[in-house]
Amino acid sequence: MLLPFFFTLRAARLPVSPKEFLTLLEALRAGVIGPSVDEFYTLARTVLVKDEALYDKFDRAFAAYFHGAELKLDLVRQLPEDWLTQQLKREFSPEQLADLQALGWDELMETLKKRLEEQKERHEGGNRWIGTGGTSPFGNGGVNPAGVRIGKGGGGKSAVKVWEQRGYRDYDDSKEIGTRNIKVALRRLRRFAREGAADELALDDTIHATAASGGMLDIKMRPERHNKVKVLLLMDVGGTMDEHVHRVEELFSAAKAEFKHLEFFYFHNCVYDFVWKNNRRRYSEKTSTWDLIHKYNRDYKLIFVGDATMSPYEILQPGGSVEYMNEEAGSVWLDRLTQAFPKHAWINPEPQGVWSYRQSIDLVQRLMHQRMHPLTLAGLEAAMRQLGR
């Protein structure tokens, strides 16, 4: 049964070895977990994944293999697929939505067990049975704010337990690039310079000089060639950036390949007094924005990647952040960063045609001294030319 699961993980390009898979099977035979999908997920991830950066990739492969299974195994009974196919879209008044009562977790699961035992046919649009489009806490496509979604697809995105929910995830820096054009565009920023002492043997020049001198050894040296470009990459993650994940991952992967000296951090919507490296530990392992300013020299090229789509208050007002009470406005921190790193640019994945309709984008453009470019090949080339001046 689990051999296809192993091949699913390998197909997702997870470095899972046969030895690790056999260890997982031994743990199952030893009965270290109960008959629970949740417990199996935790055990499998612990045994098979050795790098936290691969957790999200594992989550996607796990969800793909188990088809969004979200219930304890001892509660699951196969339900006909057409029971769970959303065919009805319903709208509810605010009063009806306010009347929906959320069950506690234990009561929710016990009630679900009874429904599975009692229900004999497909149901749609009700408030009790497992079905679609209703106010029942069980099913798919309904609006109960605290329920269990069964099957894939839509709904109010407020179920208590949803396998596919992954929160803010790190961008995948191993994302395969479908075209070399992004790398070529970024390569415009690279400047190889001859610096330092002449400590590298120029072999071709030595051969030519020796031959020209009638065989007398004439050693020629040259300065070492190296990539001196330093990049500080700050990337917006979560919220409205979710729809741009694929393109940002392509950019991130290309940047990792092209820039030898690359430092990256995440922020959400606007930069405030801290950023982070790992989205799973974004509150426990913060990096002060002041530390960025003090640690990295002015010769770093500062590149923001984000859609700049937010409430203007998040940029202009103290306490405007949607996540915590920031003491200083985002505009203050953007100004400090652009002053600390004179070579800076903002890459925006939103289509350039909508920029003029977003007040927040206009604000960020002004704070970035009009150095905002679209996430297109032409936009990247323009940004690299600007950073290279």
Q: Which domains does the chain have, with CATH numbers?
A: 3-66 (no CATH), 73-149 (no CATH), 181-189+228-388 (3.40.50), 194-225 (no CATH)
- Work out the number of other CB atoms within 10 angstroms of the CB of residue 212: 10
What is the residue whose two structure tokens read 């296809």? 4
pLDDT confidence tier of residue 63, bands split at 50, 70 and 90: confident
- Terminal-residue alpha carbon distance, the chain: 59
Comparing 222 with 139, the larger pLDDT belongs to 222
- Work out the number of other CB atoms within 10 angstroms of the CB of residue 88: 12
Q: Are the C-beta atoms of residues 348 and 380 closer than 8 Å to each other?
A: no
pLDDT (average), residues 288-307: 94
- What HEC string does the chain produce? CCHHHHHHHHHCCCCCCHHHHHHHHHHHHCCCCCCCHHHHHHHHHHHHCCCHHHHHHHHHHHHHHHCCCCCCHHHCCCCCHHHCCCCCCCCCCHHHHHHCCCCCHHHHHHHHHHHHHHCCCCEECCCCCCEECCCCCEEECCCCCCCEECCCCCCCCCCCECCCCCCCCCCCCCCCCCCCHHHHHHHCCCCEEECCCCCEECHHHHHHHHHHCCCCCCCCEECCEEECCEEEEEEECCHHHHHHHHHHHHHHHHHHHHCCEEEEEEEECECCCEEECCHHHCCCCEEEHHHHHHHCCCCCEEEEECCCCCCHHHHHCCCCCCCCCCCCCHHHHHHHHHHHCCCEEEEECCCHHHHHHCHHHHHHHHHCCCCEEECCHHHHHHHHHHHHC
Global confidence as pTM: 0.53
Burial of 80 (0-12, 13-18, 19+ CB in 10 A): exposed
pLDDT confidence tier of residue 157, bands split at 50, 70 and 90: very low
pLDDT (average), residues 23-29: 89
| pLDDT value of position 115 | 63
Could you give the percent of the chain with pLDDT greater than 70? 63
Q: Are the C-beta atoms of residues 145 and 156 closer than 8 Å to each other?
A: yes
pLDDT (average), residues 317-329: 89
Q: Which two tokens stand for residue 323?
A: 């996540």
Q: Are the C-beta atoms of residues 227 and 254 closer than 8 Å to each other?
A: no
pLDDT (average), residues 238-255: 86
Q: Are the C-beta atoms of residues 249 and 175 closer than 8 Å to each other?
A: yes
Q: Which two tokens stand for residue 39?
A: 């417990």
| pLDDT value of position 270 | 94
| pLDDT value of position 225 | 56
Q: Is the pLDDT of residue 298 over 70?
A: yes
| pLDDT value of position 68 | 46
Distance CA 112, CA 121 (A): 15
Top mean-pLDDT range of 58-62, 64-68, 128-132, 289-293: 289-293
Query: Of 134, 49, 59, whose CA–CA distance to 91 is shortest?
Result: 134
pLDDT in tens, 162-203: 344 445 566 655 544 444 556 666 666 654 333 444 466 788
Could you give the percent of the chain with pLDDT greater than 90? 25
Q: Are the C-beta atoms of residues 282 and 219 closer than 8 Å to each other?
A: no
Comparing 66 with 298, the larger pLDDT belongs to 298
Distance CA 302, CA 341 (A): 6
pLDDT confidence tier of residue 135, bands split at 50, 70 and 90: low
| pLDDT value of position 155 | 47
Parallel, antiparallel or unpaired: strands 286-288 and 301-305: unpaired
Comparing 100 with 302, the larger pLDDT belongs to 302
> CB neighbours of 51 closer than 8 A, spacing ≥ 6?
none
| pLDDT value of position 194 | 39
